């Protein structure tokens, strides 16, 4: 099952997470088990970044409920690409309240 992922934060760490996701998916392609993750989009509350893209993925300017990304009732997963601990904690609490699930991302 492919996990649909939304990244919180549109900075350099988001690029790193996308790279790891692509590496994980490439490894599973070699093993013929198919991709594990699909990046649905990136959320950053800095409205100057809204409408841009990072590595081909759209940047949205506000946190939308998980249902915004879901089709057919699927779970939506969140990963935080924000370095400041206070900001990161605040975003992940908000994400959980809006229906996002957490997941582990481990480079192969």
- 8 Å CB contact between 7 and 22: no
pLDDT class for 14, splitting at 50, 70, 90?
very high
Q: What is the pLDDT of residues 16-58, one digit of tens each?
A: 999 999 999 998 876 677 778 999 999 988 888 988 989 999 9
What are 65's two structure tokens? 């409920």
Query: Is residue 26 classed exposed, middle or buried when 0-12, 13-18 and 19+ CB atoms within 10 A define those classes?
Result: exposed
| Residue 79 and residue 8 in contact, taking contact as beta carbons nearer than 8 Å | yes
| Burial label, 48 (beta-carbon count in 10 A; 0-12, 13-18, 19+) | exposed
Q: How far apart are CA 38 and CA 15, in angstroms?
A: 14
* pLDDT at 97 > cutoff 80: yes
């Amino acid at each position: 099952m492919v996990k649909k992922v939304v990244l919180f934060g549109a900075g350099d760490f988001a690029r790193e997470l996308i790279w790891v996701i692509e590496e994980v998916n490439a490894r599973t392609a070699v093993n013929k088990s198919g991709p594990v993750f699909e990046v649905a989009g990136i959320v950053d509350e800095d409205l100057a970044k809204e409408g841009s893209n990072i590595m081909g993925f759209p940047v949205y300017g506000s946190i939308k409920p998980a249902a915004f990304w879901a089709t057919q009732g699927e779970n939506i997963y969140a990963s935080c690409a924000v370095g400041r601990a206070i900001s990161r904690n605040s975003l992940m609490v908000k994400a959980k309240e809006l229906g996002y699930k957490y997941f582990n991302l481990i480079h192969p």
